[in-house]
Amino acid sequence: MRLNLKYLDKMRCLRKRSAVSFLGVLVICLLFMNLYIEDGYVLEGDKQLIRETATHQLNSERYVHTFKDLSNFSGSINVSYRYLAGTPLQRKRYLTIGLASVKRKKGNYLLETIKSIFEQSSYEELKEITVVVHLADFDSSWCEGMVKDISQKFAHHIIAGRLMVIHAPEEYYPVLDGLKRNYNDPEDRVKFRSKQNVDYAFLLNFCANLSDYYVMLEDDVRCSKNFLSAVKKVITSREGSYWVTLEFSKLGYIGKLYHSHDLPRLAHFLLMFYQEMPCDWLLIHFRGLLAQKDVIRFKPSLFQHMGYYSSYKGAENKLKDDDFEEDSFDIPDNPPANLHTNMNVFESYEASKAYSSIDEYFWGKAPSTGDLYVIVFEKPIKITKIKVITGTEDRQNDILHHGALEVGEKIVGSKKGRQCTTYLRLGEFKNGNFEMTDVEHKVLFDINCMRILVTKSQKEWLIIRSISIWTSQQSNQ
């Protein structure tokens, strides 16, 4: 009888374990199905990354205790750097741009990357940036050759304190051989990506006190014109909100912006888990651990990958950011406002998401004649340009087929119920979009409200992908 009871207990445990395993597999399958159904616009490479990262997170509980200590990592890592060119200035700059570079089997894009940073910056912008290049290869002759080339081509930037070249000696690196082969990567791949994590950890550690903000680039990147002014505009727009990482490119760890006060913790984090996974995956975990749940990415992208050959084995790498714009970058002002709509909102795609500069949108169920999407500005404004885009590439029918855009004045009501009593129609939507320049010459009053009016019912749902507003000045009323 006792043997039978023990046997039954074992069977129950097995059934429980099987059920838990089945549920785990089912959850992962549902996540993957949602990835394909809900987010068809995600790149195939991004899907692969998300799949592997999600799988890895199932086993991440063993790190929880260590993660809790992350907030204590405020001190610097003890490394004696070699200064190969330039020295730190006493005055803090606004932004440090960090690059780590190693010898490539094919191609070398570092000089072009540095050139792009400086050429795409105005004289005033150059006063606010510092570029730090970490030559992270252990081949001293290669490092010496690169320093010579950099010093010859960018001597005036080195003298002005805008460019530094450093090297962390090999003796400070942890063990790089015989590491864990996560994701069935070959040993040389594991060694390459593990060393890369340490390269960036030492770079971040060095840059922690040079400026207010830090942006991470790769050594094969092209920059957009006046990228610093765009970054400053975005940072100003985020004042008062919490963020860990702002992203100005969809690729890897290109264009990831941090507060400099977070760099010591990020450096320790990369060093602690250097052999676990690639750097861009670790950056995603770091952001989440510091309580930024969602990606905050801005479009158009400010940085573009230009290398054709990877630094790993010289393999081909043709990745491009299709959201990059080199010359026409112009971030809208989108002044503070309250937003509301009487349309039937789908899930969490609320009205505010169309007005954000982040890559997200408003999504409402089939709108009817007279439905409204209303923006009530906190202060009267002068508008110079308006641009509204509806629909997405993968949902091209979810546009506003018949609609108009209007601006309003003479605001009434309390804070929560403020609305304009008089509206002026500026024009109709064409092919789902609306764009108008020189608005200040067509509207003689200070604008308190702006609204999108549905002029004819449609069976298709409506995505308002982005609402962009540029202003000349705010009224003093």
pLDDT digits (tens, 9 = 90+) for 367-422: 999 999 999 998 899 999 999 999 988 899 999 999 999 999 988 887 667 889 99
Q: How distant, in Å, are the alpha carbons of 334, 339, 464 from that of 352?
A: 11, 6, 10
Residue 135 near residue 94, CB atoms below 8 Å: no
Residue 459's φ and ψ, nearest 5 degrees, are -80, -25
Rg (CA), the chain: 26
Instruction: Give CA angle at 217 (214, 218), nearest 5°.
Output: 155
pLDDT of res. 345:
93
Inform me whether the pLDDT recorded for 309 exceeds 60.
Answer: no
Confidence of residue 320 (pLDDT cuts 50, 70, 90): low
Topology at the third CATH level for domain 82-305: Spore Coat Polysaccharide Biosynthesis Protein SpsA; Chain A (3.90.550)
pLDDT of res. 244:
93
Confidence of residue 38 (pLDDT cuts 50, 70, 90): very low
pLDDT of res. 53:
46
Inform me whether the pLDDT recorded for 50 exceeds 90.
Answer: no
For the chain, the average pLDDT equals: 80
Inform me whether the pLDDT recorded for 66 exceeds 60.
Answer: no
For 337-471, the fitting CATH number among 1.10.10.10, 3.30.70.270, 3.20.20.70, 2.60.120.260 is 2.60.120.260
pLDDT of res. 278:
83
Provide mean pLDDT across the span 64-76. 56
Inform me whether the pLDDT recorded for 179 exceeds 70.
Answer: no
Domain ranges of the chain: 82-305, 337-471
pLDDT of res. 118:
93
Give the type of residue at 348. Answer: S
pLDDT of res. 303:
86
Confidence of residue 306 (pLDDT cuts 50, 70, 90): confident
Q: Tens digit of pLDDT for each residue in 126-176?
A: 999 999 999 999 999 999 999 999 999 999 999 999 999 999 999 998 888
pLDDT of res. 374:
95
pLDDT of res. 406:
96
Q: Tens digit of pLDDT for each residue in 352-366?
A: 888 876 678 899 999
